[in-house]
Amino acid sequence: MFLTNSEEKALAGEKGESLEIAYRVLIAIGKISNAKRLIPIKWAHVSGVSYLTIGDYGMDFLKKISSGKGTKFKVFTTVNPCGMDIENWDSLNVPVDYAEKQLKIISCYEKLGIANSFTCVPFQSFKVPRKGTSVAWAESSAAIYANSILGLKTNRESAVSALASALTGKTVYSDLHIPENRKPMKNIRIDMEGKRLFRKSGLSGSVDFGILGYFAGKHISGVIGFQRINQELEIAEAKALCAAIVTTGSSGMFVLNSKERIETIDFTEKEYEDTFSDLSQSGEGEAIVFGCPQMTIEELYELSRSLNGKHLRKRCFVFCSSKIYEIARSRGYSAVIEAAGGTFVRDACADFTPLISTLNVDSVETDSCKGAHYMRKVHGVKIALKDTTRIIEENSK
């Protein structure tokens, strides 16, 4: 792998231990992926923020990286949601020792120079670079969104590789950074005739597109081609499709309206129903969770419209970033949602947080297929998977 003089020096430890570790990580990945060189990036998005996912080992590693004298991120860097609401963790029953460790992790990232983010939908809060720009995003649901919807180029980075990219401002020139690798390997042909026909695909809403993504991710590991879906996706649908694909597989990109003549897998009503049954084990849940991935301002607007003048009969948690919450507050959406009984959980991940476990519930209602998968796995709860509108209709007066 070709390295510049400056990269060689950093690798040799001449620019401090943190950079040496970062270059070692990138070069190890470069070797595995047969990359010839590193390339500059404009934006790193780092995961590995929740204490529930990285634990003491991850926390100690971050302490070490951030303790290097003058060690700072080289490029604009955002971070994933953490494992609790940073402002209101005590009122949401987060144990003190957990909160202390979570705050320590956050302080390491702050020391390194993150943008105020704590979001898995970073494209909502910050200006997106022009199409074709290389970035290094670790949150898999955001990475696939970047490649497929925003036209950026990123591999599905791990927490460690994205951290290395943030420190060096570089990534490995491999896989989805290379134009020839961005073509579909297999197509999914959607054939939902007779079910819902108001769109060509027959699909509508986050649950439908989440189910499609959950199926597609399981069956195709490379770039996915979707037939019969044009650029008609709402932001919530695209977000649900992306999040579900990466839940079940390793794909990092899809192409809409694929015209490639390649192997094609059918997605019919049978595959839809089988996938739905896999994800939804209960008719109803004892609590409601919205926001995996975290809610966008458009979704909060829709939620506030649906809840206007109503009152929820169950505890309902709404996950979004502080930045989006502030916009929702200034526009009056959050006041409507809170008046209806909704509780905002800011800057946190909906699944990797102790919140669900401390609720002592056996079942949860959600509109998210990724959330359904992980809440069941991590917290052992049954899931009732339903559209937002239906959840509100059935649970409010």
Residues near ligand F3S, by CB under 6 A: 80-81, 120, 139, 141, 243, 292-294, 319, 349-352, 370, 374
Starting from the edge strand earliest in sequence, which strands make up the sheet with 363-366, in order? 342-346, 315-320, 287-290, 363-366, 382-385
192 vs 320, beta carbon nearer ligand F3S = 320
C-alpha 104/C-alpha 106 separation (Å) is 5
Exposed, middle or buried by CB within 10 Å (0-12, 13-18, 19+), for 332? exposed
What interhelical angle do 159-168 and 51-67 show, nearest 10?
Answer: 30
Q: Both tokens of residue 92?
A: 């949401």
Q: Considering the complex, state which of residue 7 and residue 347 has its C-beta at the smaller distance from ligand F3S.
A: 347
Interior angle at CA 262, CA 258 and CA 266, nearest 5: 75
| Nearest distance in Å: CB 75, ligand F3S | 21
User: Among residues 157 and 351, whose Cβ is nearest to ligand F3S?
Assistant: 351
Cis upstream peptide for 293 (omega within 30°)? yes
Compute the least distance from the CB of residue 353 to ligand F3S, in Å: 8
Of 134, 145, 142, 224, give the one whose Cα is nearest residue 174.
134
CB of 322 to ligand F3S, least distance (A): 14
Report the 10 Å Cβ neighbour count for 368.
Answer: 29
In the complex, the smallest distance separating the C-beta of residue 243 from ligand F3S, rounded to whole angstroms, is: 5
- The smaller minimum CB distance to ligand F3S, of residues 7 and 139, is found at 139
Residue 91 CB, shortest distance to ligand F3S, in Å, is: 20
Give the neighbor-by-neighbor strand order of the sheet with 43-46.
76-79, 43-46, 136-137
Q: Which residue, 10 or 159, has its beta carbon nearer to ligand F3S? A: 159
Judged by beta carbon, residue 47 or residue 334, the one nearer ligand F3S is: 47
Q: How far apart are CA 376 and CA 384, in angstroms?
A: 11
CB atoms under 10 Å from CB of 369, counted, come to 34
CA 15, CA 271: separation in Å to the nearest integer?
Answer: 54
Q: Which is nearer to ligand F3S, 94 or 350 (CB)?
A: 350
In angstroms, give the least distance from the CB of 229 to ligand F3S.
21
In angstroms, what is the minimal distance from the CB of 200 to ligand F3S?
28
Question: 199: Cβ–Cβ under 8 A, 6 or more apart, which residues?
Answer: 232
* Best CA proximity match to 373, nearest among 241, 278, 282, 284: 278
- Rounded to an integer, what is the distance from CA 95 to the centroid of its chain? 25
Pick 80 or 174: Cβ nearer ligand F3S: 80
Is the Cβ of residue 19 or residue 144 nearer to ligand F3S in the bound state?
144
CA dist 301 and 293 (Å) reads 16
Nearer to ligand F3S (CB atom), residue 220 or residue 318: 318
List of residues 6+ apart from 60 with CB closer than 8 A: none
Kindly compute the dihedral angle of the four CA atoms of residues 58, 124, 40, 222, in this order, to the nearest 10 degrees: 80
In the complex, the smallest distance separating the C-beta of residue 42 from ligand F3S, rounded to whole angstroms, is: 22
Provide the minimum distance between the beta carbon of 119 and ligand F3S in the complex, in angstroms, as a whole number.
8
CB 140 to ligand F3S: min, Å: 8
